[in-house]
Structures are given as structure tokens and as C-alpha cells.
Structure 1
């Protein structure tokens, strides 16, 4: 007997399969307990799909220059505070409660070498569904992701002593005092431990530091690293940290590059033909804005380029959009020169 296949029969068969799947799901027969683990075939299939997806999408979406080894201190501080609990760290085992997940987080000291820089970038940027690996919380900070890629790449050869030096010895330790935890990246002297991506905080206005910390904590200022660091700070913590860091010596009005007349013109007088106000009209002593004189040139240049954003239109009438508008009016050829004029290279 030959059964003739028709569109109607095919549709009924498909509807039956869907109904059966829904019935099994509704019944509760599928065990979703993390304690039960996956069947070996399920575990293989999920990892096979994930690796293929990451390989294809990273080739299409990740930047070719996917790693930046110049900011390992901030990357290490974030890893210690956010990642080590699941993945472990040199000389530190992961916390048992996270290893009881299905799947458990991989030991990056063992598996990082299995991925290319572009693949690591994609995973850190986008996360992985149904694995507990989150996406990077600041969608407009590829610079932070590149630093994390460089740090993860170093893990297979990093010693516990290397890790302790990078984190300052306290970052991510449960119960570490607030100032000491922050000093893991910013340094006990507030000078950012010689890292170009970490600003000098000593000598900054306390009110500005408070405003910045609240903005990171509330999601109004973009940084995956600082948003995580500020997340658990209450208002009293914010005020105390701002006062302590601001009281440290650091920023000083002794910038290099005084011979750069064009940079000096923009800083002191602006460019009226481009509707670009002078930097000093806001960033001067007594103003409620950050002090720039003596800040690290690398940090200043990076901040200007970050504030330009992705080219989307912004409304200059909104207070939070003021600097993006101004930053876009600075000629690209002048960004590094202005930063050098304002900054210094001794920090």
C-alpha cells in the first residue's frame, strides 16, 4: 500500500509534531535542572553550533585590530571584579556556585588559545545565549573590549604574581575597602598607575568626580568597566571616594607643547568660524567641569574621539549632548595636538 503525500497531509503531520512538542513542554517532562547536566550529544551539538556561529560572525563583524595590550591594568581590574568568580584567575579557583552551572564557565587559562583575537572580541562584545556569558554592557566602548581581548590572550601564560601586579593585589577581593578596590586600577596616588587609558584623579574637582561616579552608576555615562565598579556604591561611598581622590596631588597646570600655537589658540580662544568655543571657557579653575590641564594626553584624545560618537544626530540643546557637538567640531588633525598641549607625560 502506497501512501500518497499531499500538501494537506504534510501540513497535518507538521501540526501534529508541533502539538506533540508543545504537549511535552507543557507536561514538565523535560528536566531543566542544572544539576542534571546535558547529554553528551546535546553538549557536543550546542558547543559545535556556538563555535561555528562565533567563527562566522567574528569574521564578518569583529575589527581586524581586535586586541590592545596597552590597557591591561583596567582590563585586569574588570576581570577580577566581574569575571574571575566564574572563570577563575591565575592562582585562584572559580567560585563553586558558578561551576555548578550548566554549562560551567571555561577555564580561560586553558581555552583562550583555542580562539582567535577576533573570536574573543566577538564573544566579549556580544556574549553567548544560554551560557551565562553576558554581552559587554557599554555598546559604544570597543576600546574596552580590545583591552579585555589582550588580557584574556595573556591568561594562559600569566603567573599569580603577574595577576597580582596587574590588579593591584586587591581588585575583586570580596570585602576590599572601597578606596583600596578603586586604587587597584587608579593607584593609591590617583595617577592611574601609568596607564594611558586611566585618568589622573588627584587634584580633580570633588564635585566633578561625584558627578562622574553617579553617571557611571546610573548608566548615563558609558563604560563597562566603570559601570560595574560603581554599581554597588551608595551616595555616601561616592562622596567619600570623590573627596579622597580629589585631595591627592596630581593634576597641575604645566602642560607640554606650549610651542603649538594652533593648539593654544583652540584651547584659549576657540575657532569662531567653526562655532568651536575655547576649551578654557569651561575647563578652568572654579568651573563645574573637569580640569584638563595636566591630564594624560592619551586619555584626553581618546575621550574626545569617544564623545564624537557614531555620527548619529544629537541635539545640542540637551545638556548631555553638549560635548559630543563640541567634540565633532574639533578638526581631527588637532585632537592629539590639543591633548598634548593640555596634558603631560610624566603620569
Structure 2
């Protein structure tokens, strides 16, 4: 593995993308003989940087990210982050699902980097590469320390997840939301049970994810849904879209944002291999639909967006990006300091990309 090929750079301003900076003397390989982690190898590393700048050419609507893990046991066959495993000479297929890099010093790095004089308090997005609430988080518990550091600096942030484990940190999220802007989004692309079992085998079911949305709403924390991915010919029929948006509305989501499946290198090969095994009759149609690159044609994306927006209006929820941004409104916890020394931060933007 190319641990030693990553160039050291301790400056936040020089960090790019989601490339973590490791020391070759700080890698521990660990396995756990428990049912949920059987067959999974963890590489525990001490990163040199954790708050990373998104490349300027990226389509992402945010500039800074924190990713405490690489690889993901959710094993989503379409995951665009698979390519990042190749940077370390790790396999982008089965290896991405079972070889997980854990940045065990992530909380202390976040705290240190937020305290830097160079840090201007910009919005930080999490869950943008791999899920920060995947199963590994249940054992390593990195997110409570990260959220605490963000809360203590009143630094705005957002989290995108398919994991129900986020509910473990509900009290911390409420505390953070009382001092800064916090955006929570749950990814639910469809509610088809058979499709979920084959395309997202390591994730909680769509129903359990919608329970997260419901619980957040019941606790005064607005939660949007990223309806992603909408999978052409498998989850995009009018009836399927209607069923998914209806369930999202019933869960109390503040917004719904559709995102059509995109197939970047690394993910494309793995997804097409899966498609050939499970739906061989669709292979030729996919080759035509994605002939121009990683993204479905604009006409198709516009059609899906229009249909979902119409359904959202029908069921009384507003797609993210239309109308005013919704601020999470949580009463200040009287046990928390008022932090008058900290500047007021700008509102967080709704996270809209997987």
C-alpha cells in the first residue's frame, strides 16, 4: 500500500480533496471476530490533516470536508468514492467494502485545526466521501469528538448519512445546533426492499433511515432527504418515485433533493459488473445512457427532478434549493456557555450531493 507515497503537508490551506496525510510508522492493522465485522480489516492510522479543501473544479456546493474513514461497509455498488481506494493501492471493489481506513486521531485534529488562526470558521461538510456513521463508527466513536470540537468553536457543519447510528449523537447535535448552523440530511434513494437488499446490502433499510428523519423532527432538528441515487430503469418509474416521496413526506423531512445515479471510474466498473449479474437485460441500455461519461443526460436528470419536485409539492415538502433555507431551531441548552467571544457564523447551506 502507498502509505509512504502521500506527501506530508501540515497546512490546512494546502490540503486538497479528501487525501489524508499519514505517517508510515503510524499504521495498525486490526480485525474483529464479531458477526458485524467478520471479513473486515481496519487500518488504523494517525492522519496529519483532517479538514480538507475540496478541489475548485469539483461540483460540490461546499469548500471544506472532514472524512474520518476511507472505505465503507455499506457496500453500495454505485458508491462514487470507490476510486479513492486506488490512491492507496487498495481494491476499489470488494476491498472498498472490507478494507476500512480509520483516522483514529480525527477528533483531536479537528479541534487543533479549528483553533488555528488561519481558520475562518467556514462550513464543514461530513459524509461527502464515505459515510461517517457506517458500522465502524459504532466501535471507533470518532464523531462525538468531532461534533464536540465543532460545537465548542460554534463552527457550522452538515452531515449526510445512511446510518441510523447518528441518533446516538442526537444530544450533541442539539447542543451544536443551539450555537451554530447544523444541517442534517439522510440519503434515501428509493423504498423498494428487493432493490435495497442487492444494491445497498450493508446499509440500514430505507424504513429505518426514514425513522432517523422522523426522530430528528420529533426532537426539533430539521432533516432533509437526499433522494439518491435515483437508479435508471430500476427505481425511476412514476409509481416508484411517488412511493418514495410519499414515505419521505410522511417521515417529516424538511426537503427532498433528487440525484440521479452517476458512474465515475471505479464505481462504474463495479456497478456494471453488478448490473450484468442481476439485470443483464439493462446493460446495453446503461451503455447508451452513460455513453457520454459519468452522468446521465441532462434531459433525463431534468425529467427526474421535475417529477420529484411535483411530488414534493403534492405531499407538502419543499425541495432543497427552492425557497428560503431552513435553519435548525433548537433552544439553547442552559448548561452550555453562551460563547460571546465567538463570531456569528453564516448560515449553513443544505447538503445536496452524495
The two structures have a TM-score, normalised by structure 2, of: 0.31
Q: Which has the higher helix share?
A: 1
Greater radius of gyration (CA): 1
The two structures have a TM-score, normalised by structure 1, of: 0.31
Say which structure, 1 or 2, has more relative contact order (CA 8 Å, 6+ apart).
2
Q: Which has the higher strand share?
A: 2
